[in-house]
Chains A and B, each alone.
Chain A
Amino acid sequence: MVSVTIRARQALFSRVEANAFRGKGRDLVRNSGYYFAFYSSAISDEAETALKERIQCFKPERMEHERLQYFFLPSGRAVITSSIQITPDKIINDSNERGGAFIAHCLVIEPAEFEKVNNDPFAVIEAFSDRIIVEPSGLIEVAENPDQEEEVKITVELRQPSLSGYAQSWPQAELEKLILSGEQDQGGRTFQLVGAPDDVEEVLRVAFAAADKRTRRRMTFDTSVVKECLPPAGSFWVTGTTKSFKDSKFPAVNLDDPKVTTLAGAEGNPKELSVYANWLRHSLKAGRRDEMVAHAFTAQRIAAALEAGRSLDEVENVEVVDQFLAVNEQHIVSCFKDTVREWLSNGMVEALYASIATQRAAGRPTFSGQEIITAAATGKFTDAQALSNYVYAWLLDTNLGAKYPNLTEDAAKLSTLAAQGRHHALAVVGALLKPDGLLSPIKKMIPFARNRGRTPVQEALAQLDVHTELPEVFRNLMHFDWAAPSRFVVPETATALGRHFAQNPPAKEQDLFAVLEALYEQGDTLADFAPHVARLSSDNVKRLQKLIGKSTDSVDPTFRQAVDARLNQSSTSRR
């Protein structure tokens, strides 16, 4: 359970006798009547105007009925109030001890502070409930200590609510309409929830649990309204009343038989819904009300991370994450692809994600939903190694050019990714796709080693040989049009390559020539390649002969014989 401490200002409004407050604290009470017994100096202007207008009229049906209000001042500050009728004290409240007196205790919270509790007024009410002033003597105590009461600190627990009580009996469709109405423009109307105050509060709590924190800023309410104290239509999202009144701008929702009337078109464009609203609507339509309430917090955290561009730091419920991803796939995947595009070309990203999606659908996710969402949210694929692993596996799985023919465009990008992810095999692939062959990526491997020079590079390449990555790479590249390495740095690599190509010669003649040339230049005697000379054209044989010269030491005799035989064959043909 997470706790957050926020700061709030206060105001206390009641029927007061001037004499009881004269000379106390800031001496705010100058006349008898309904006035503020106290308000924090930081909110003095607003207290006298906007705040007073909202709280000054309170006529509950029963004395024990508490009124809760939640609204915003023009400055953007959030206000949460609790009002309760009192037995007036003759000295403090009313010398005539007339009925109807009440105390309204107001908390005024700066927007940034309120955001810390996810704009949830009920969480604040619960946290502050034992400090709400409900007795006349409390007014005096606060008035006498203005400095102490100027600002209060409230420790709020951000709890996950449960669906219980009255709200469980609401018809699904009506609950959905009410919850979603919080984010819709109601055209200057205010819903009146007609029922017992406890039931009104219960319904509101469920609606708040389901709403994300941005929507909550629109869901203002007053739980106890009568016709004599009717606020302007549209000034609250919802009011609660025990007796309904007829007013077209206050559509009634009888809690015993709830029917929520929304304006035509108020649902808005489904394509423009926020990711959270999308999830919420999907959950409500699926009819899993309990799950919706239970998972709302998780879904809100995910949505908040996406909107704020930050990672999901906590390990979230996999089911909720996957459901959230599925409902908002278009948006999230689009952001995910944008992220991967930092590493790879557009074409490769599209092809890559198709593979990711297929594997997820088959229950073999390479990247978890949380990883995809985090990448989508942050715009960064922080685990380059994981991405390297996947890209390399995908390249092998798809045999490179089989499904993605433009791989050469990604040569440099693959190399960069491989370097970040310290993925040697992927580096080789990237290198092989470049015209300048292995030399470039090998040089890029140098930063991995502590020292610069051939020895560490040899060790790296030897490691490649040990893990048979290089031969595997070449084996998988059999049918791919790659630029043969023009130079090999170490004999061991050349040996390995020589053994590989001897077993798996390139299909194209030009590639074969390039391999022979490269191997020769690295010191290979080409002993294993004699059988393949016959495939070369006469021009390439002549070029080869020119390359190897007349030396008998650098080239294996059987290979030279094969070359000579091929040359004679060519001469005979011309004659």
Chain B
Amino acid sequence: MVMRFFRRGKKDVVCPGCLAQVRVSDEFNQTCPSCGKPIPTIYIQRYDDAPPIIISIFGWSNHGKTFFLDALRLILMEMSPLWPGYFYQSLTQLDLDTERMLREARRQGRNTEATQRRTRDQNEAYVMLLEHVALWDSRMLVMMDHPGESFENMGIPTSEIPYLVGTETTVMLVSLPDLIAGHGSLNQLLTIYIDALTKQKVNFRKGPRRRLIIAFTQADRMIKALPQPLQVYLQDDEVWPMINSDKELTQHWDEQVMEEYVERMKRVSDEISKWMSRDNRNVPGGTATLAMIAQYNLDARFTIMTATGGQLNATTDNDTRQAGFNIAPRRVLDTFLWALEFQSKRS
């Protein structure tokens, strides 16, 4: 394989650390000339047949970015029973260490830590290979976590967060309960995002449309405020119990199941959009957000999730948001599947 690679000539890849285009000179020992970080060998080797899906995560402090990433990884690590032929492989030491840490933290019932601020050089991307992901073949998932403080105000240091401008798909995580408690509004967050891209001379009318996935996190905390269909959707997610079941699964999620799942996701997205336009009390700034999305030609999808399952699993009226204890994420996978949909050949 190596010999065939070199006979084909040089190869260009996108650096997972800074998104710079890199001409590969040595796939076994390649560092990015722009950021100086090493590029995993398997990432280079599988670049063509398992293209990277790079997700930019955007959201305020304590709105669940880290919870989401941790829960998503926990799910993706265990999806083999559901997806035939699927397996998960860490490609960086950071990802391997995180994988171990997450398993241990879950075993101990330990809480996720608040993400600390770091400089760009200190921040590393998580890179994982996902083989045979249902409808989307094999992909390499690339993500980077940033502290919410980076997104509090206009003037986001985009040099510190290359993903924000460099990726076409951005996941905007919003905790509506915290948004309401902090007297914020959804369109403020979108404004900060639009401002950052505008300052980087992004033209929303030309070139590929910017894709936005707005995921409402911690939905368990406002379950009763959700429209009935969304309540049902949130509660009847079976992924987590299925992948954690001791029993052998009799049903796999083949292509047909996944097609139906995606269709349902689209319906849920439409339902959420309608909810946003009419329920300004529980989705402050929802209407304005929809208008901004249209104005800036964003291709947006909506989803809801709970990374911990907190209130849904509560056996008492006490707040069990201190997750890590008996977590049961709901609809965390949807955000990832939307990103796959956006960046796959199917779109």
Contacts and interface: CB of A to CB of B under 8 A. Distances in A.
Interface of A: 15, 18, 30-35, 52-53, 56-59, 94-101, 228-232
B117 A56 contact: yes
A92 to B, nearest CB: 13
Nearest to A100: B113
B122 A57 contact: yes
Nearest to B153: A31
B62 A56 contact: no
Contacts of A59: 116
A57 B111 contact: no
A232 B35 CA distance: 12
B117 A57 contact: yes
Interface in B179-222: 182
A169 to B, nearest CB: 32
Given A32-B182, A34-B147, A57-B122, A98 B113 contact: yes
Contacts of A232: 121
A561 B245 CA distance: 146
B322 A34 contact: no
A197 to B, nearest CB: 19
Contacts of A52: 117
Contacts of B118: 56-57, 228-229
Given A18-B182, A32-B182, A99-B111, A94 B62 contact: yes
Nearest to B110: A99
A442 B146 CA distance: 90
11 contacts: A31-B149, A32-B182, A33-B147, A34-B114, A56-B117, A57-B119, A96-B322, A99-B114, A228-B122, A230-B122, A232-B121
Contacts of A97: 111, 322
Contacts of A15: 114
A82 B322 CA distance: 29
Given A96-B321, A99-B110, A229-B122, A31 B61 contact: yes
Given A98-B111, A99-B111, A33 B322 contact: no
Contacts of B117: 34, 52, 56-57
- Chain B, interface residues (CB within 8 Å), range: 20 to 34
B159 interface: no
Contact of A100 (B114, B153, B182): B114
Given A34-B61, A34-B149, A100-B113, 9 more contacts: A30-B152, A31-B149, A31-B153, A33-B61, A57-B116, A97-B111, A99-B113, A229-B116, A230-B122
Contacts of A53: 119
Contacts of B62: 32-33, 94-96
A90 to B, nearest CB: 10
Nearest to A231: B122
A472 B11 CA distance: 100
Contacts of B94: 228
A52 B119 CA distance: 10
From A31, A59, A97, A229, name the one whose CB has the most chain B CB atoms within 10 angstroms. Answer: A31
A97 B60 CA distance: 17
A304 to B, nearest CB: 37
A58 B116 contact: yes
A34 B116 CA distance: 7
B148 interface: yes
A31 B148 CA distance: 10
A52 B112 CA distance: 23
Nearest to A31: B152
Interface in B297-318: none
B111 A33 contact: no
A544 B141 CA distance: 122
B79 to A, nearest CB: 26
Nearest to A229: B122
A189 B8 CA distance: 39
A231 B119 CA distance: 9
Contacts of A101: 113-114
Contact of B116 (A30, A31, A95, A100): A100
Contacts of A58: 116
Nearest 7 pairs of A and B residues by beta carbon: A100-B113, A33-B61, A56-B117, A33-B149, A98-B114, A31-B152, A99-B113
Nearest to B152: A31
Contacts of B114: 15, 33-34, 94, 96, 98-101
Contacts of A94: 62, 114
A231 B121 CA distance: 8
Nearest to A226: B122
Nearest to A102: B116
Q: Which of B60, B121, B122, B153 has the most CB of A within 10 A?
A: B122
Nearest to A245: B93
Nearest to A53: B119
A232 B118 CA distance: 12
Interface string B44-78: 00000000000000001110000000000000000
A242 to B, nearest CB: 15
Contacts of A228: 94, 118, 122, 124
A351 B111 CA distance: 81
Contacts of B322: 96-97
B292 to A, nearest CB: 22
Given A57-B116, A96-B322, A230-B122, A32 B61 contact: yes
A33 B151 CA distance: 11
A97 B148 CA distance: 16
Contacts of A230: 121-122
A282 B114 CA distance: 51
A31 B152 CA distance: 7
A386 B248 CA distance: 102
B282 to A, nearest CB: 19
A52 B122 CA distance: 14
A185 to B, nearest CB: 22
B66 to A, nearest CB: 8
Contacts of B321: 96
Contacts of A32: 61-62, 182
Given A18-B182, A34-B147, A98 B112 contact: yes
Of B110, B114, B182, which is in contact with the most chain A CB atoms at under 10 Å from its CB? Answer: B114
Contacts of B153: 31
A451 B321 CA distance: 101
Contacts of A229: 116, 118, 122
Interface string B99-114: 0000000000011111
Contacts of B124: 228
B237 to A, nearest CB: 22
A465 B48 CA distance: 112
Contacts of B110: 99
A19 to B, nearest CB: 8
A35 B116 contact: no
A270 to B, nearest CB: 36
A230 B119 CA distance: 9
A35 B113 CA distance: 16
A58 B152 CA distance: 21
B223 to A, nearest CB: 18
Contacts of A18: 182
A536 to B, nearest CB: 99
A248 to B, nearest CB: 12
Of B61, B94, B116, the most chain A CB neighbours within 10 A belong to B116
A93 to B, nearest CB: 9
A39 to B, nearest CB: 16
A23 to B, nearest CB: 15
B247 to A, nearest CB: 34
A261 B183 CA distance: 56
Contacts of B152: 30-31, 33
B175 to A, nearest CB: 10
B319 to A, nearest CB: 10
Contacts of A35: 149
A494 B339 CA distance: 119
Contacts of A231: 122
Nearest to B148: A33
A99 B152 CA distance: 21
User: Which of A33, A34, A100, A231 has the most CB atoms of chain B within a 10 A radius of its CB?
Assistant: A33
Contacts of A33: 61-62, 114, 147-149, 152
